[in-house]
A and B are shown apart, each in its own frame.
Chain A
Amino acid sequence: MSNQIPFVDYLVLGDHPHLVANECTACGARFFDRRNACAGCSGTEFRKADVATDGEIMSFTIVTFAAPGVPVPFVSAIVNCQGTSVRGNIINVEPSPESVTMGQKVTLATYPLGADENGVEAIGFGFQPA
């Protein structure tokens, strides 16, 4: 595992890859970024909370036109993972309106994004049909 690095801090690799949120201990609001305080209640104490790896698509789009360097087309979606909303790509499907549906059940999946000069492989995440 030492030759892998998660694409983002909130992706936990290993036998059971999953996302981990900063959860406000006062109000339960969950965030994926480094926090100064809670946007909901201004509380300053957080605990790590594992996010469910299964969810359903609440919204999606297929981006076919983007800034240079951004690989298109890709399916972007908002996935409700048992109450926690997550943004991510829908992967392992054709990027077409026929292949993705609102309310579709999906599950977290990881995939390699390439290695650096030291041979460390970056691992990204997305959601694929359950």
Chain B
Amino acid sequence: MSDDVWILGIYMTKFGKYPDRDTVDLAAEAVLAALKDGGVSMKDMGVLAAGCLMDAPGIAQRIQKQIGQTGIPAYNVSNACATGATALKTAIMTVKSGEADFGLAVGVEKLAGAGLLGGAGKSGKAGASWEPQGRFGEVMETEGRIGTSGMPGTFAQIGMEYLHTYGATDFDVFAKISEKNHFHSTLNPLAAYTKAMSLDQIKNDIMIAYPNTRPMCSANCDGAAAAVVVSDAKLKTLSLEQQRRAIKVSASVLTTDPYEEACQVLPNVNTLTRNAAKIAYERAGIGPEDLDLVELHDCFATAELVHYDNLMLCEEGGAVDFFESGATWRTGKTPVNVSGGLQSKGHPIAATGIANIWEICHHLRGEAGPRQIEGAKVGLAHVIGLGSACGIHVLERSGL
């Protein structure tokens, strides 16, 4: 017996558009299916952690009211794009603490047709008299006048900064990363978009924030994902089949961004990811070279590049060469985002941090069908939410 925690059941809905279903419908589908996948029921659960960024507070209780009010503690979790990972970690911590044998985490979002997120403007028009407002004392909307804090532009600058720091000048690398992820999604029936796109198609699509064109941005869509976790002791009392399919959580890490010069001017998504990765590898006793697949937070093509480096999949400064070597294609040394990633599978924000765990579990269980990474034993799932929060989970198959 150990204090390990295992993923017993997990599920993601198909990502896409659900005009006739609300967030509770989608979350309920995910939770009920995750419970079934684990061979357990709501009555077994000792804790619920749920996240939905765009809904009114209280998604956990609204879900309970539809599928089982068992009186357990419920946490409503909100941590930007790391919300799903934070919900999962909350359930894991509760089980690890001994307060519960089983825990449940769910993330759900409805974003189809939501358009651009973040950086939305107040009126830029002059009023009766200028009145300085806010912490910067601005007299009108700063977006577009003091650079951008919108997501596409912010992450564009993050990718461009990386190239500048390491002396790279060919910006096509970002579009090529997008080409990879769109190609990968052709094998994922649950992805919101499953069409391959050529490099030319990607580069010539609508420009959002240079160099990110529309297909290089995460796809807004609807979706939910849920996971059931169980203690090591309890798992050993369950059936051999449940034990065989259970996936070990070898590390569950959450970090925020430590202060560094410039980090309040352009969010630094690098240091907190690197810090989380270091802790995760140490806790798991696993190195980046051991990973059979990685799902990382490619909210924009420019983000995926920097995270190769931050997760130490390549040597420092070597992300461009690493990608150009083919390493991150599904046939490469370290397949990255074989689900299609946020750019093609889609990004229903609060669901993402559990959906990427589902993808890894699917491969580790050998159940990923045509897109199976053969013989996968170890995987890593990474999310980052601006603000910032980084969640990393390292997962291993049971070996039974």
A61: contacting residue among B139, B209, B265, CB under 8 A: B209
B259: contacting residue among A29, A76, A103, CB under 8 A: A29
Return the chain A residue nearest B207 by Cβ: A64
Q: Which of B126-134, B187-195, B339-347, B367-375 contacts A (4 or more CB under 8 A)?
A: B126-134
Q: Which of B71-79, B152-160, B314-322 contacts A (4 or more CB under 8 A)?
A: B152-160
A63 and B150 contact, Cβ closer than 8 Å, known pairs A33-B135, A78-B266: yes
A116 and B129 contact, Cβ closer than 8 Å, known pairs A8-B146, A68-B121: yes
8 Å CB interface, B144-193 against A: 144-148, 150, 152-153, 156-158, 160-161, 163-164, 171
Contact of A92 with B by CB under 8 A: no
Return the chain B residue nearest A56 by Cβ: B164
A63: contacting residue among B136, B140, B152, CB under 8 A: B152
User: Is A31's CB under 8 angstroms from B124's CB?
Assistant: no
Question: Within the assembled complex, what's the spacing in Å between the Cα atoms of A65 and B139?
Answer: 23
A114 and B143 contact, Cβ closer than 8 Å, known pairs A61-B210, A63-B152, A66-B119: no
Contact of B239 with A by CB under 8 A: no
Contact of A117 with B by CB under 8 A: yes
A61 and B119 contact, Cβ closer than 8 Å, known pairs A5-B139, A29-B261: no
User: Is A85's CB under 8 angstroms from B121's CB?
Assistant: no
B157: contacting residue among A31, A32, A33, A61, CB under 8 A: A61
Q: For A125, what are the chain B residues with a Cβ–Cβ distance below 8 Å? A: 146
Q: For A63, what are the chain B residues with a Cβ–Cβ distance below 8 Å? A: 144, 148, 150, 152-153, 208-210
A24 nearest CB across to chain B (Å)? 10
Q: For B126, what are the chain A residues with a Cβ–Cβ distance below 8 Å? A: 114-117, 122
Contact of B116 with A by CB under 8 A: yes
8 Å CB interface, B208-232 against A: 208-212
User: Is B138's CB under 8 angstroms from A7's CB?
Assistant: yes
Q: For B259, what are the chain A residues with a Cβ–Cβ distance below 8 Å? A: 29, 39-40
Question: Within the assembled complex, what's the spacing in Å between the Cα atoms of A118 and B131?
Answer: 12
Return the chain A residue nearest B115 by Cβ: A67
A21 nearest CB across to chain B (Å)? 11
A25 nearest CB across to chain B (Å)? 16
Number of interface residues of B (CB under 8 A): 51
A87 and B124 contact, Cβ closer than 8 Å, known pairs A7-B140, A63-B153, A102-B160: no
A-B Cβ contacts below 8 A, count: 171
Return the chain B residue nearest A86 by Cβ: B265
Q: For A76, what are the chain B residues with a Cβ–Cβ distance below 8 Å? A: 147-148, 153, 157
Number of interface residues of A (CB under 8 A): 53
Q: For B207, what are the chain A residues with a Cβ–Cβ distance below 8 Å? A: 62, 64-65
Chain B contact residues, majority secondary structure: loop
Q: For A130, what are the chain B residues with a Cβ–Cβ distance below 8 Å? A: none
User: Is B146's CB under 8 angstroms from A59's CB?
Assistant: no
A103: contacting residue among B141, B150, B153, B164, CB under 8 A: B164
* Complex interface bits, A109-130 against B, C-beta within 8 A gives 1, otherwise 0: 0000111111010101100000
A87 and B139 contact, Cβ closer than 8 Å, known pairs A65-B209, A114-B126: no
B133 nearest CB across to chain A (Å)? 10
Contact of B255 with A by CB under 8 A: no
Q: For A40, what are the chain B residues with a Cβ–Cβ distance below 8 Å? A: 259
Question: Within the assembled complex, what's the spacing in Å between the Cα atoms of A64 and B206?
Answer: 9
Q: For A14, what are the chain B residues with a Cβ–Cβ distance below 8 Å? A: none
Contact of B56 with A by CB under 8 A: no
Q: For B121, what are the chain A residues with a Cβ–Cβ distance below 8 Å? A: 66-70
User: Is A124's CB under 8 angstroms from B208's CB?
Assistant: no
Question: Within the assembled complex, what's the spacing in Å between the Cα atoms of A85 and B136?
Answer: 16
User: Is B210's CB under 8 angstroms from A97's CB?
Assistant: yes
User: Is A102's CB under 8 angstroms from B145's CB?
Assistant: no
Question: Within the assembled complex, what's the spacing in Å between the Cα atoms of A52 and B318?
Answer: 33
Question: Within the assembled complex, what's the spacing in Å between the Cα atoms of A9 and B135?
Answer: 9
Question: Within the assembled complex, what's the spacing in Å between the Cα atoms of A116 and B131?
Answer: 10
A-B contacts, 30 of them at CB < 8 A, read A5-B130, A8-B136, A8-B138, A9-B132, A9-B138, A32-B264, A33-B264, A34-B137, A59-B266, A61-B152, A61-B156, A61-B160, A61-B209, A64-B207, A66-B121, A70-B121, A76-B157, A78-B147, A85-B261, A89-B144, A89-B145, A97-B210, A113-B140, A116-B128, A117-B126, A117-B128, A118-B128, A120-B129, A122-B130, A125-B146
